[in-house]
């Protein structure tokens, strides 16, 4: 039996929203581009360039964490009414499993483990161009009330 999952996203959000809110941020600076949104996942790519590599000319572990947090933070914020709430990172971990070569592109996919009223937990898988796991990460997000605008 094929059952299509119900969308987790706040009504009206699109990939264009994801890329628009990334302008002038670290997400844009390292070349992250949101590429796909499913009913229960968000996907992006990031090039392995001089901005994201370490001296050995492979993907820097910190860049993997930037991708993971940028991806999951964006996803988490797309599940709440952003005019009233925001999801902010509380804890993140990452396991680096294999290198990604300079000049390649990695792809990250975030899926929720838990979406609650006050917290969210997301899992992120980062793969290389051959779909091999480069990094797995988990992030806990706090859902906070946004200050009213005056």
User: Along the 150 residues of the chain, how does pLDDT read in single tens digits?
Assistant: 666 678 999 999 999 999 999 999 999 999 999 999 999 999 999 999 999 999 999 999 999 999 999 999 999 999 999 899 999 999 999 999 999 999 999 999 999 999 999 999 999 999 999 999 999 999 999 999 998 766
Is the pTM of the predicted complex or chain greater than 0.75? Answer: yes
Task: Provide the β-strand partners of residue 92.
Answer: 139
50, 69, 125, 129: which one is catalytic?
Answer: 69
E strand spans, 66-104: 85-96
69 as an active site residue: the answer is yes
- Set out the domains of the chain in order of their start, with CATH numbers: 15-145 (3.10.129.10)
The helix/strand count (H/E) of the chain reads as: 3, 6
Lateral strand order in the sheet of 119-127: 33-37, 42-47, 105-115, 119-127, 133-145, 85-96
């Amino acid at each position: 039996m094929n059952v299509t999952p119900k969308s987790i996203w706040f009504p009206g959000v699109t990939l264009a929203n994801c890329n628009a809110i990334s302008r002038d941020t670290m997400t844009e600076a390292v070349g992250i581009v949101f590429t796909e949104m499913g009913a229960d996942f968000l996907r992006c790519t990031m090039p392995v360039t001089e901005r994201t590599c370490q001296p050995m000319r492979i993907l820097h572990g910190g860049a993997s964490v930037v991708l993971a947090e940028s991806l999951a933070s964006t996803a988490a914020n797309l599940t709440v009414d952003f005019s009233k709430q925001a999801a902010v990172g509380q804890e993140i971990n990452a396991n680096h499993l294999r290198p990604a070569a300079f000049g390649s592109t990695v792809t990250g996919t975030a899926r929720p483990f838990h979406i609650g009223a006050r917290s969210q937990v997301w899992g992120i898988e980062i793969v290389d161009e051959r779909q091999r796991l480069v990094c797995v990460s988990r992030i806990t997000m706090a859902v906070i009330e946004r200050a009213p605008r005056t």
